[in-house]
Structure 1
Amino acid sequence: MEIIALFFVSWKTKTLKKIKLLTLLGFALISCKDETQKFFKKNSYENLDKAKKLRDSGDTDSAYIYYAKAKEDLSSIDDKTETGRALANLAIIENDKGDYHASIASSIEAEKLLQNKNDSISKSIASSNYNSVAIASKNLKNFKDAIEYYNRAISISDNKVDSLAFYNNIGDTYLEQHDIKSAKMFFQKALQTTDSIDYARVLNNLAKTKFLENSSYNPIPDLLQAWKIRKKFKDNIGINSSLATIADYYIIKDKTKALPYAEEMYKIAIQNKSPDDRLEALNKLIRLDPENYSKNFHAYNFLIDSLHTARNNSKNQFALIRFGNEKLKTDNIRNENRILWLSFALGILVLITIIISVWYKKRKEIEVKNTQLKMSKKVHDVVANGIYQVMTKIENQEDFDKEHALDELEFVYEKSRDISYEKPDHENDSKDFKDKISNLIASFKNENTETYTVGNDAEIWAGISQSSFDEVYQVVRELLVNMKKHSQASRVIFKFERIENSVKIQYTDNGIGVPGEMTYKNGLTNTGTRIAAIDGAIIFDNKSEQGLKITISFPVS
């Protein structure tokens, strides 16, 4: 706290020196710019080509890495069209992996680069990109957005075959909403395609729609024709779609005929390595094959769990790749980790300087003093306590995990950046609150100090606002930091209770306690104000022979 206070007192005299330092760093970067751009230009297109080959071969995870690298490199040389291409392909892979929100974010970033470009290449990429947004929106059940983006794709497409394929997608979106009339109209438009695989897809969808419109209609001739075309062109994904549609028809009309199609669908789904098709086939087999019900039911549940885990892993993996590439835009390949660490430190320093400079110019003297006090409190919470917590974790780890430490520092960096923008709180989540508190307390455990958490259940935090939780979280961290620095405690206990419409937190340690009359010292300066801010109360019991006991209570907002 003392270091941060000194920084605020002397910031005016140091600002000029920091600006000079940044200017010198800027000149150094400019001197390397030409060589760096040559390197990026050579490698960025190679990364794009390699990504395409990997994706075509089915290695989408590796393709994602190279598309992400290509996106950063192409952006650095200001090639908007090819940067848009890389982003559009990232969105498609994210879509395929079920990371729909990330996919839409990538597509929107690509859209900004491709808008107002009228050359055929840019329009083709933009059209495919709109289609990707539509698919993600449809999977998220945002049908209105899906249809809007399909229409955008059609409006800028110069390729008739692609446009007709988009009509099929619109029809499929209406069909999922049970709008049979609209679905049929778009499928009939799409049936004009000259592409055999697309024709088989539309024929299958139109036959299904006609049957849904009129239960006496026999779709089998059209469904079998679509299946035959798909087998001819070895369209394995399409083959499974045909088998699913035929099986669904016979489930309604004649279940005895449905089973062979469901069994064949399951077999091909395994060959295709398509977990979604396997789930659909198993769902049919559970209903159609009572003799193997138990086996199919267990396989279905196991696959659901595995698919959920795999998709979460993919999302986390892709998030790490996106994070890594964002931070390595100006990276020298031989010094990646060093530059990353320096970027965090420099970013935080510059950000704090800019925040205070802007506030100083725009506020009157009295407002500046109040603002600086508030900022000092925030920076202390976010930067000082955050970094101290990371240092504590590193100190207590036998094996240093660099990647985890980077994640922790990135969190501190993002939080410090949020201060300048006054970003609004996120929706509160009692489970998330519980985990954050437990993780915070556990992070201060080491070979000399045991930390215990009692009663910290999700129900404790139900109804607690984000702002109240933030204050409580900082109070808990302040107590832990103070304990670590001063108390010499070997045991720390936090007990949480919910009593009607209030929460009670009891802190106990077996340290040296606080001698004499209780005053807010030793890092506890902000604790009383925080609790008062949420209409709570705090009681310090320093009369016991050993240790310190603190009781905090506050109402549920």
Structure 2
Amino acid sequence: MKKRLNLFKYWTQNRLQIKILFFILLGLLVMPSCERITEKKIIKKNQTTEIKNKIKKGDYFLNKAKNDSAYFYLNQAILLCEPKKDYAEYYVYALSCIANIQKNNSDYFASEETLTKTLPYLKNIKNPEYAYNVYTLIAYNYYYSFDYNSAILYHLKALKLAQTSYKKSVILNDIILIYLSQEKYIEALKILIPLTARKINHENDPRKTDNNYSLLLDNLGYCYYKLGNPKAVDCLNKSLKIKLKQNDQYGLIGTYNTLSLLYSKTDQKLSKLYAKKAYKSASITNAIIYKLVGLATLIEKSEGEELKKYSLDFIKIADSFTSARQKAKNEFSRIRYESETDKAENLQLKVQKIENELQLEKQKNRNSISYIIIFFTTAISLFLYIYLILKSRKEKNKAIFESEIRISKKLSDELANDVYHTLSFTQNTDLGKEENKEELLNNLDTIYLRTRNISKENSAITTGINYGDNLKEMISGFKTPELNIILNGFDSVFWDEIAKNKKIVLFRVLQELFSNMKKHSNASLVVITFKILNQNLFINYTDNGNGADLNNNVPRNGLRNVEKRIQSIKGQIDIDSITGSGFKVFIKFPI
């Protein structure tokens, strides 16, 4: 009762102050809503035309094969879109184009990540063409990542949305390619024979009709070849005739390669001739991957000086291809980062402009207290905004710098060494001898595998439903005839229950432990035990390698990055090793 009297007494004595405070709070609640209404009107008035112009420029550069410029303008269009409210079609279209660029640059994980952003908005778009394109691109990414079952699943989704017979035949041909990769030739024939019984016409482009028909004939010929059916030659010659008539150099590559394969056991001279023609067509179209495939085939079929020439060309093209891919990836990352920074700065300018307009409209009705509140609110917001932007920019630059240093070191220490030794070997060795030729092929295979491993180590980590499979695949990649890896309790872990950032940290930590083991320990056995107890994940890593002297700063410095990663997710790590007695790591973190 006494407490109620005190509250009543406080109310009666301070009614004026309480009323003033109430109106201040009401003003703060009303003003942001006014600002949002005004801002929405301004944005809605100007955004559509600007988005269309950005997409139009992006399409122009795409048609000119200038992917970096196309990426820039398409990314600008995406940043202008608000897909939850409006512009869903523009948003999905621009993201699909960027995903296609990433796919063509063999950055399949980035392409899949980009396409995932479109999925929530496909149901709101009436035109099925958008979903058709998205599903098809997702299927391609799975195909090139060797996940054939997922690729077929998304091709079938696209097939349901295909509105013409021609589009359906294109998708069916993509499914056929997957069957060929899986060596399911009978299943492929069941689709191919009806499709090649007659030409399926494109709506308005006869050239596309012939292109699709010749591609189906190529696949039919390849199936017959694999099944030992002599009809293979007739199918491939029909396809060759169509492509020569159209001067389709890109399409000729596949036909020539299949013919070279077909004659590889019966007529070596003719097989080599078709291999040379395939390489020539790949050179005309500058299809780098097919140039490398063609050179690899010619290396197998050549001797002496010709073999040396093809080998040097292979190394040169492979090196430039790796550099170009990395450069393109870095350029896209830079464009995206700068675009997002520009968007943040432009948004801040718009907010300030809107605030000024609102202040002018309400100037006559505001009192001095309102001006003071607006001033301090704006100042604090601006200070926090600038502080967070600068902090974020600094952290991103640091991460980019460290990543570039690590990649550069790997290229310099590992790949450059192998390339130099291979070049020296080809220049100072008689490649006419079979043993030297075999050694050269082994060296080239080592360069290819090392390049692929560097690419995988720095690619994005998928943290979705396939995370467990990807982690197991990464670990299996370190397995060799001399090294046995045993996983205990791996399948008992419910990976979906673990946070995304913790999955990424665990992936990188295990990757780094295996890399250190491969470089320094000479281990023949690695055992990793996974166990979940009391909402914590426990990992025990043990190998029987050389071990390390942890009192020495050199190995301790090498493991410092592993310790920092585990500490960043509030985990614990204990490293136990003595020189000559193996290496043990205990990791624990909350899930």
TM bracket (short chain)? 0.5 to 0.7
Provide the residue aligned with 1:87 in structure 2. Answer: 95
SS state at 1:78 partner = coil
- Gap change, CA 1:288 and 1:111, over 3 Å in 2: same
Q: Which residue of 2 aligns with 1:316?
A: 330
Among 150, 155, 164, the alignment partner of 1:159 is 164
The answer for unaligned runs of 5 or more in structure 1 is 1-16, 351-382, 394-420, 435-456, 467-497, 509-527, 538-553
Residue 136 of structure 1, aligned match among 129, 133, 141: 141
Note the C-alpha offset of 1:31: 4.0
Change in Cα spacing, 1:256 to 1:197, as seen in structure 2 (3 Å) is same
Q: Partner of 2:19 in structure 1?
A: none
1:463–1:309 distance in 2 versus 1, CA, 3 Å: farther
Q: Does 1:100 align with 2:108?
A: yes
* Alignment match, 1:206: 220
The residue aligned with 1:43 is 50
CA change 1:171–1:293 in 2 (3 A) is same
Distance, in Å, in 2 between the alignment partners of 1:228 and 1:532 is 65
Q: What is the aligned partner in structure 1 of residue 284 from structure 2?
A: 271
Distance 1:428 1:90, change over 3 A: closer
Output one character per residue of 1:58-94: Cα deviation in whole Å (capped at 9) or x when no partner: 2222212222222222336721122111111111111
CA pair 347-178 structure 1, distance change in 2 beyond 3 A: farther
Partner of 1:227 in structure 2? 240
CA contact (8 A) 2:574 2:586 kept: no
Aligned to 2:385: 346
Q: Distance in 1 between matches of 2:190 and 2:241?
A: 24
Shift of 1:235: 2.6
Distance in 2 between residues matched to 1:266 and 1:331, nearest whole Å: 50
In the other structure, the counterpart of 2:205 is none
> Residue 544 of structure 1 corresponds to which residue in structure 2?
none
Q: Using the TM superposition, give the Cα deviation of residue 266 of structure 1 relative to its aligned residue in structure 2, in angstroms.
A: 1.5
Write the deviation string for residues 145-178 of structure 1: whole angstroms up to 9, x where unpaired.
0000110110111122111110011011011010
Question: 3-state DSSP class of the match of 1:75?
Answer: coil
2:146 aligned with 1:179: no
- Structure 2: stretches of 5+ with no match in the other structure: 1-23, 202-208, 353-380, 402-498, 514-518, 531-543, 555-566, 577-583
Number of the residue aligned with 2:75: 68
Matched, 1:150 2:152: no
Tell whether the 8 Å contact from 1:44 to 1:73 is kept in structure 2 after alignment: yes
Cα separation, 2, equivalents of 1:319 and 1:19? 44
Q: Which amino acid aligns with 1:221?
A: D
**Cα 1:423–1:263 shift into 2, 3 Å:** closer
Q: Is the 8 A contact 1:430 1:458 kept in 2?
A: no
C-alpha contact 2:299 2:311 (8 A) present in aligned 1? yes
Q: Does the Cα contact within 8 Å between 2:521 and 2:547 map onto a contact in 1?
A: no
Q: Which amino acid aligns with 1:504?
A: L
Spell out the pairing of 1:290-369 with structure 2 (5 A cutoff): 290-291=303-304, 292-332=306-346, 346=385
Give the direction of change, closer, same or farther, for the CA distance of 1:158–1:532 in structure 2 (3 Å limit): closer
Question: Which amino acid in 1 is paired with 2:385?
Answer: L
Partner of 2:63: 56
For the residues of structure 1 that align with 2:382 and 2:311, how far apart are their CA atoms? 52
Partners in 2 of 1:20 and 1:294 — Cα distance? 80
Corresponding residue number in structure 2 for 1:249:
262
1:324–1:433 CA distance, 2 compared to 1 (3 A): farther
Contact 1:236 1:272 in 2 (8 A): yes
Say if 1:502 and 1:555, in contact at 8 Å, map to a contact too: no
Distance 2:33 2:340 in 1: 19
What SS is found at the alignment partner of 1:178? Answer: coil
What per-residue deviation string (whole Å, max 9, x for no partner) do you get for residues 2-22 of structure 1? Answer: xxxxxxxxxxxxxxx999999
Task: Kindly provide the amino acid, as one letter, of the partner of residue 64 in structure 1.
Answer: Y
Find the aligned partners of 2:312 and 2:383 in 1 and give their Cα distance: 48
Q: AA paired with 1:303? A: I
5 Å matches for 1:422-433? 423-426=501-504, 427-429=506-508
Q: Decide whether aligned partners of structure 1 residues 175 and 344 sit closer, same or farther in structure 2, where only a CA change above 3 A counts.
A: farther
C-alpha contact 1:150 1:166 (8 A) present in aligned 2: yes
Q: Displacement, 1:428?
A: 4.4
Contact map agreement 1:244 1:261 (CA 8 A) in 2:
yes
**How far apart, CA to CA, are the structure 2 residues paired with 1:57 and 1:232?**
25
**Separation (CA, whole Å) in 2 of partners of 1:23 and 1:299:** 70
CA contact 2:51–2:90 (8 Å) conserved in 1: no
* Corresponding letter in the other structure for 2:181: E
2:218–2:235 contact (8 Å) kept in structure 1: yes
AA at the equivalent of 2:329: K
- Change in Cα spacing, 1:141 to 1:35, as seen in structure 2 (3 Å) is same
Amino acid at match of 1:180: Y
Structure 2 distance, partners of 1:22, 1:505, is: 61
Structure 1 distance, partners of 2:148, 2:297, is 26
1:312 Cα shift? 2.3
RMSD: 4.8
% identical aligned pairs: 20
TM-score scaled by structure 1?
0.59
| Gap change, CA 1:164 and 1:347, over 3 Å in 2 | farther
Given the alignment, which residue of 98, 116, 119 partners 1:111?
A: 119
- The residue aligned with 1:287 is 300
Offset at residue 284 of structure 1 (A): 1.4
Secondary structure at 2:65's aligned position in 1? coil
